[in-house]
Each structure stands twice: as structure tokens, then as C-alpha cells.
Amino acid sequence: MSDLSKLTISAARDALRKGEVTAVELTEACLTEIDGAGALNAFVHHTPDIARAQATAADARIKAGDAPDLCGIPLGIKDLFCTKGVPSQAASRILEGFRPEYESTVTTQLFDAGAVMLGKLNMDEFAMGSSNETSVYGNAVNPWKIDDRQLTPGGSSGGSASAVAADLCLAATGTDTGGSIRQPAAFVGITGIKPTYGRVSRWGIVAFASSLDQAGPMTKDVRDAAIMMTAMSGHDPKDSTSAELAVPDFEAMLTGDIRGKKIGIPKEYRMDGMPDEIEALWAKGQDMLRDAGAEIVDITLPHTKYALPAYYVIAPAEASSNLARYDGVRFGHRAKLAQGDGITEMYEKTRAEGFGPEVQRRVMVGTYVLSAGFYDAYYNRARKVRALIKRDFDQVFDQGIDAILTPATPSAAFGLGEMTDADPVQMYLNDVFTVTVNLAGLPGISVPAGLDANGLPLGLQLIGRPWEEGDLLNTAYALERASQFVAKPAKWW
């Protein structure tokens, strides 16, 4: 039974349809693993009763011959997704006790497809962070370890990454505003894809930066990512930014044939001080794609160096606007007031108690750049830079480039606590390879491709054309087959 949680979605789907295992057995195996993995702090709200009821219903659907690909598959759901009647706090004290009366579009689609919810997963508060250390629940822990040093699983989708890598669930949902799916996926040796902006509905997902946020799957391999992408995608009239596009069968597009594809290598991603291991892995990735029949082409994305500054103006500005709705009046945490306190004091005390230091920092930065005297100097200028970054990608794709290969992260996973006391900018630099994708609204995927000298996983990132997730997944599939990455963390938890 314990080995059932190690299955991929595709393997479990086939076993369920053949009657070799039931959804209830699969779910019980995962619940047992979760119960024994408290040290990872990946799951923060457990929903075993819901999981068992959904698994029983899935078995009935399978028996009746009505079994979509995700029917009976146990998943973890990031705490950013609203789930009806289940705590949905975005890992923040200010949403303490909040149980939505509605279901997010993504989880609705997953549950309609027969998926099973094991519980809610840890994350950085309001998705603001790269190490899962801003969570009100305490940090999630990477299942990979060096000696006795505990490592970050990355952020903000750190709980999702840790749970999938440790086989607590078969897959998980994540969200990506500046790399929050791809960076943690690289840190724990799994696959994570951020779809094109507008491919997956944002309705019912707690907002961080509305023009950048996008939900996506975090899975054990590329095929599983394709299966989940098909279920999660689609037009949603409740989301004004949702694209009215048909959803292809992404799994059916996984041929592994990339002969004749042009893969761009941007010179601007060769950063000063980049570790030799990252450089070597990047070169290895180019060789693997070339051996698979692709053409490797040097390209230039000249405005890349402005991406991080532009991102850290635009994202906090949008966060400042979005988080203004949390005031302690209608839901969530409300501070206790002293005699004589009025509405202003209630707002101030509630927000001071409810928001953690990193969220407060970003809200203040965002409010500053949106203020009358600085709007043009910062926010408008950042929007113009964003347009130039998008134009760089457009020009490269117009020249016939099919995908772009870069490192996923500037290093392997670092130790918990190593960066939190340093200059916050050092933590922000973890997003250096990923934020451009969000600014341009493009699809990007992280695929595990090797180990560093300490035996920790390293990922490569592929960036695709807008709306071409099928081609992107197929290129990632070719890279996955060539790298033959099968390493798993040794169980210590």
C-alpha cells in the first residue's frame, strides 16, 4: 500500500481503469504518508473525510465507465485556492478562520474530473516569497537534505513542491507570479509548468499581482503535467482575463519528436558569478536537445537586465491594490481594540497583526510607487520596460525560435534561514531566470535535469510561444527522456 503514493498520475490512471487498485486504496496510501510526514510541514489543512468521500465517488464513476484521466487521483491543493468549506488562508494570519462559500474554478474543474483533495498545502504568505519562510504556518521543508541541514523547498509553492517530491500526493496545484511554480519544482526535482497568462482561470485564487498570477500543475513528470494541464485549462466567463481558446489534449501531443525545432539560447542569461554547475547543466541541456534533432540558436533578449527591477515595482503595486480589501471587517482576523479606538485604529492594528513582515514590506513599496509623486517615475516606467521585455520575446519567436532554454534557478536549494536575515534583494535574485516569463505572459516549464556536487536536484527551464503549451510540453518531454532524471530524496522524515 505504501508504494501506491509513489505512482505517477498516468500509472495510477491505468491501474485504476484496469481494476488493479481502487481510488480509496490510493487515497488511504497517501493519507498514511501525510500522517507520517509532519516534519516536512507540507500539508497545513488536512481533509481526510472529503478525500475518502471523493475517492468512493471516483470508484463508482470508474466502475460505471465514466472515468476522466484524473478520476480517483489524490492531489494536494495550494492554500491560495479557495475551497468551499475548507480553510483557505493564503498562509496569512489575516485570513484566519476564513472558509469560503464557493470553490475556485481550477478546483471545480479538477473535482469535476474526479480528482481527490487530500488537503491544503503550505506556501509563502500571499505567495510573496521564494523560500516558504513567510508562511504563518511555519516553513515547509525540502525532502532533500544535506547532512543535518534542512533546506528550503522554494517558494511560494513550497508545500506543493515538498509534497509531490516526498510522494505525499500524486500531484499538486501551484501558482506562479514570478517563478513560484518553476523555482520550487527545480529545488525538489519535480516538473512544474506556468501556463500562458489567461490559459487557466484565476477566479477563486487569492490574488497577489493580478496581471502576473497564473495557476499550474506541479507533478512527478512531464506526462502528468500534460494531463493536469488539460483538466485545469479552459475559458472561464468569471475571469475577464481568461482566453476563449479550445483546450487541446496536451498528453496526446507528447511524441518526443523535436527534429527541426529551433531552441534559443539567450546570452543575457549568462549572469556574472553564475555557478559552474549551473553553466555546465545548461550546456548539457543544449547538447541533449541537439542530439534529439533540435537546432540550437544563439539569441538576444536585450531588456532582460531590467526584468527584476520592473517586476519588483509592478508586483508590489498590484499587491498593494489587491490586499487593501483585507480590513478585518467582513472576514478573517480582527484586532482587539482599546477603549476609544475608531475605524482607523481597527484597520491599522488588524493589518499590523495580520500581515507578516514581507507582505508589509511589499505593500509599502507598492503604495509608494503608486503615489502621486512617484507614479510616473516608477510604475509607468516599469510598465514600459515590461512592454519592451515582451517585445524582445515576440521578435525572437517571429524569427522562428520554437522554445528558449535557460537555467531554472541560479543555484540548488539553499538552507532554511540562510537568506532571511540578509538583504531582501538577495532573496529576490532567486527569481532572476523566471520573472521575464511572467512579465511577458508566456508559458514556462522547469524540468529536473541533474544533480549538483552535494547531490541536490537542478532544473532547466524551457520558455515557449504564447498558447503553445503542447509544443512546450513535448520539448520538455524530449529533454526529460534525454536527461533520464530518476533521483529521489532519501526518506528521513
Q: Catalytic site residues?
A: 78, 156, 180
The amino acid sitting at 489 is P
Q: Which of 22, 2, 394 is nearest to 12 (CA)?
A: 22
- Exposure string for 358-387, b = 16+ CB within 10 A, e = fewer: bbeebbebbbbbbeeeeeeebbebbeebbe
- For residue 316, the SS3 value is helix
Cα dihedral 335, 338, 339, 345 sign: negative
Residue 87, sorted as left (phi over 0), alpha (psi -120 to 50) or beta, turns out to be beta
CA dist list (Å): 124 to 107, 121, 138, 184, 246: 20, 10, 9, 12, 33
Which residue is associated with the grid cell 516558504? 132
- For residue 30, the SS3 value is helix
Dist CA 51 CA 34 (whole Å): 13
Asked if residues 66 and 109 have their Cβ atoms less than 8 Å apart, the reply is no
What are the E-state strand segments in 122-203?
145-146, 149-150, 171-176, 191-194
For residue 282, count other CB atoms closer than 10 A to its CB: 22
CB burial of residue 160 (10 Å; 0-12, 13-18, 19+) = buried
For residue 388, count other CB atoms closer than 10 A to its CB: 14
Dist CA 265 CA 286 (whole Å): 8
HSE-CB for 323 with a 13 A CA cutoff: 32
Q: Report the relative pairing of strands 403-407 and 171-176 from DSSP bridges.
A: unpaired
Determine the longest span between alpha carbons in the chain, in angstroms: 74
- Residue 216: phi and psi, rounded to 5, are -165, 170
Q: Which residues contact 284 (CB under 8 A, 6 or more apart)?
A: 449, 450, 483
The amino acid sitting at 211 is S
For residue 240, count other CB atoms closer than 10 A to its CB: 9
Counting every residue written for the chain, the total comes to: 493
